Amino acid sequence: MSTLRDRSAAPRRQRLWWLVVFAVTRLAAMLAVWRRRARSRRALACLGAYELRDIGISDAERRHECAKPFWRS
């Protein structure tokens, strides 16, 4: 009887392991997106009027985008 319990515990541990790996991977991806957004918004905040015209963004649009927290897209 103990052999059956040992065999059934291994797949549960493996599923739990893959769930943890999946969660950590998703968290790392989300943190990377947040970091990229923050970096982009900091760079956008440093652009001058000529550069904003060059990329087709008004000053009001820039202020609106830079006012967003990093977790909002």
Per-position b or e across 4-18, b if 16+ CB within 10 A of its CB: eeeeeeeeeeeeeee
CA distance 4 to 1: 5
Query: Per the structure block, which two tokens stand in for 10?
Result: 């291994």
The answer to whether the CB of 65 falls within 8 A of the CB of 46 is: no
> What count of Cα atoms within 13 Å lies in the side-chain half-sphere of residue 21?
6
Q: How far, in whole angstroms, is CA 44 from its chain's centroid? A: 19
Chain segment 30-69, per-residue pLDDT in tens? 999 999 999 999 999 999 999 999 999 999 999 999 999 9
Q: What is the pLDDT of residue 67?
A: 97
Residue 5 scores a pLDDT above 80: no
